[in-house]
Amino acid sequence: MKTLILYSSLLFSALFLLAGCDKTGNFPGAEVNPHIAIYDLRSFYKGTDYPLTQSSMLGAIGVTGVVVSDHSGKNMTPGLLMIQNKWRLNELRGIAINIGADAANYVPGDSVTVKLLGGTMKRVDGMLQVTGLNGSAVVKVASGKSIPVNRVPSSYILANPEKYESTEVVIVKGGFDPVPAPTDTYSGDKLVNDGFGNFTLHTETTATFAGTALPGMANFFGVVEYAQSTDGKYSPQLRIRRPQDITVLSSTITKAAILISGFLAMPEGTPSTNGEYMQFLATRDIDFALTPFCVVTHNTNSAYQPTGVPLNGWATGGRRSYKFDLKTGKVAKGQYFYVGGNSNKLINGVGSTSIANGKWIVAKNTGSLAGDGLGDINADLLLNGTSGFADGIAVFEGLTVTKNTTPIDVIITGANGAIYNLAQEAGLRIANTDWYDIVNPVTLEPQPLYKQGSNTICLSRPAPTNAGFFYKLGGEYNIRLGRWVTARAQNRVDLEITSVLDELEKEFPAGTIPTKVIE
């Protein structure tokens, strides 16, 4: 037995030593993939020129990928063939390969292999490139390959441009800053805001679309290159490659006059009666006697009639939806104002501080008064439970609301309950906002209802439900651009009985910023 153990130990030791002799880690008969992932290729570069050999690429001799460059629109850096793949860790990466005039022979969707031996990887004008090759290094394997849509917020590219350079991206719902005049064209550098930041869109004066008039809002496909600023540093820019890269979403800018900026769904420690209210922010001076608006609430409480999906949308009525007409009073641009079932104008229910010094347009007891032409008597307009059932607030221009009326702003809390049915085309209509899109900005398919397509964002409703939480919807709306430049986010303010109006309208608690407008 001892002899057997000894021989076994010697055998395992010998196998271990033999394995250790192969420095490459390869086993007999194994072959190194001749193509390296672009993610790995880029990782070799450490700030100095990197010669590309079979040894320096760990046994590989080249790369393969899908072409994303297109020189037909004359807006890309000449000579660059850009390809991308996501072989490693499912991480998409791209690389620019300078092959001279032959780069123009390839278009997006071409699948190619590129032999990199003899080339050098270096930074050229800020961008990582492979230089020292020519067209003979490239072999087209196929054409017409699909390139998945890569929607990237501009802030992501600005924060980590190397991750996105030489890849195809799309900036969605981009609008220009400043708002373009009718005579403005693409030529030169233009700032595009997609709600996440300002990003430079560069168009050469010789580009085939340089003289095209700028739209109000569009999706911009393109590749990420770099430009040198006055301080000598390089910053990323998007280069659309051809006219087909521009998908116009709107030729004009629509500016919402009223924004939903917050609400209290249930006062602290009191029954949900005569205490709910909503806060709004005006983006221009409004005299409601001259230009009336209305606010409608809707909830999916299964105990309320009519039951089921709201076939008439916001105009469902009964105890499901309730309308407040805003037809008297005035508000100034940038001013908060209040509407709701809170005839006593208290901040947090019975015994709490009066906020009658705030700007109230409508304050009524909905527990004893029906809605203005829509909605039965109902003390509980906004849901308070933790079931996740949906409720919502919508603002409309004018005083008439039907199944087909489109609001100017919408906020939804919760996602459950009978709220949407595609077959019946029934549900709550949304507006083009920071959260919702009437037309899917990527697929361009109509989606006018909440929970349809990409319209799935909603607020959560945290427990406990009777704590007096005010939902402060911090965000930033640019009046001049007519769009959200910082999307609203849910901030929960735990009000006390002694809370005051400033807690609703100013930064409170520290770091909790209310919705604001800028120009």
Element (H, E) at 174: strand 168-177
Lowest mean pLDDT among 220-229, 325-334, 460-469: 460-469
Average pLDDT over residues 393-399: 97
The DSSP call for residue 170 is E
Q: How confident is the model at residue 418 (pLDDT cuts 50, 70, 90)?
A: confident
Predicted confidence at residue 442, as pLDDT, reads 82
Average pLDDT over residues 163-187: 93
Which CATH code is given to the segment(s) 38-142?
2.40.50
Q: How many CB atoms lie within 10 A of CB 188?
A: 12
Lowest mean pLDDT among 99-113, 215-229, 298-312: 298-312
- Could you give the C-alpha distances from 181 to 62, 215, 337, in angstroms and in order? 48, 10, 33
Query: Do residues 253 and 219 lie in contact, with contact meaning Cβ atoms separated by under 8 Å?
Result: no
Strands (E) in 178-327, as ranges, are 188-193, 198-203, 217-228, 234-239, 246-250, 258-264, 277-282, 286-287, 293-299, 321-326
Q: How confident is the model at residue 38 (pLDDT cuts 50, 70, 90)?
A: very high
Q: How confident is the model at residue 17 (pLDDT cuts 50, 70, 90)?
A: very low
Which CATH code is given to the segment(s) 154-250?
2.40.50
Q: Which of 152, 134, 138 lies closest to 195, judged by CA? A: 152
Predicted confidence at residue 206, as pLDDT, reads 96
Predicted confidence at residue 331, as pLDDT, reads 98
Name the 3-class secondary structure at 495.
coil
Name the 3-class secondary structure at 371.
coil
Would the pLDDT of 358 be above 90? yes
Rounded CA separation 517/436 (Å): 19
Would the pLDDT of 15 be above 80? no
- More confident call, 415 vs 156: 156
pLDDT digits (tens, 9 = 90+) for 123-152: 999 999 999 999 999 999 999 999 998 999
Q: Do domains 38-142 and 154-250 have the same CATH topology?
A: yes
Q: How confident is the model at residue 383 (pLDDT cuts 50, 70, 90)?
A: confident
Q: How confident is the model at residue 465 (pLDDT cuts 50, 70, 90)?
A: low
Predicted confidence at residue 241, as pLDDT, reads 97
Would the pLDDT of 338 be above 90? yes
Q: How many CB atoms lie within 10 A of CB 168?
A: 26
Predicted confidence at residue 467, as pLDDT, reads 77
Lowest mean pLDDT among 69-78, 136-145, 193-202: 193-202
Predicted confidence at residue 269, as pLDDT, reads 65
- Classify each residue of 111-139 as buried b or exposed e, where b means 16 or more C-beta atoms within 10 Å of its C-beta: bbbbbbeebebbeeebbbbbbbbeeebbe
Predicted confidence at residue 441, as pLDDT, reads 85
- Identity of the amino acid at 230: T
Q: How confident is the model at residue 262 (pLDDT cuts 50, 70, 90)?
A: very high
Predicted confidence at residue 89, as pLDDT, reads 84
Predicted confidence at residue 481, as pLDDT, reads 86
Would the pLDDT of 2 be above 90? no
Q: Which of 475, 490, 487 lies closest to 434, judged by CA? A: 487
- More confident call, 18 vs 163: 163
Element (H, E) at 489: strand 483-494
First to last CA, the chain: 88
Average pLDDT over residues 402-420: 91
Rounded CA separation 298/419 (Å): 10
Pairing of strands 111-115, 62-67: antiparallel
Pairing of strands 127-131, 93-98: parallel
Average pLDDT over residues 281-299: 97
Query: Do residues 114 and 69 lie in contact, with contact meaning Cβ atoms separated by under 8 Å?
Result: no
Average pLDDT over residues 344-368: 94
Domain residue limits, the chain: 38-142, 154-250, 254-519
CA angle, corner 489, sides to 345 and 391, nearest 5?
Answer: 60
Average pLDDT over all residues of the chain: 89
Residues 6+ apart with CB under 8 A from 349: 267, 268, 269, 270, 275, 468, 497
- β-partners of residue 490 are 473
pTM of the model: 0.78
- Looking up tokens 């609703």, which residue turns up? 504
Lowest mean pLDDT among 280-284, 304-308, 465-469: 465-469
Q: Which of 332, 208, 213 lies closest to 282, judged by CA? A: 332
Q: For the chain, what percent of residues have pLDDT higher than 90?
A: 68
Average pLDDT over residues 198-224: 95
Query: Do residues 199 and 238 lie in contact, with contact meaning Cβ atoms separated by under 8 Å?
Result: yes
- Looking up tokens 């006697």, which residue turns up? 289
Rounded CA separation 461/265 (Å): 10
Predicted confidence at residue 270, as pLDDT, reads 57
Lowest mean pLDDT among 13-27, 166-180, 372-386, 443-457: 13-27
Predicted confidence at residue 414, as pLDDT, reads 85
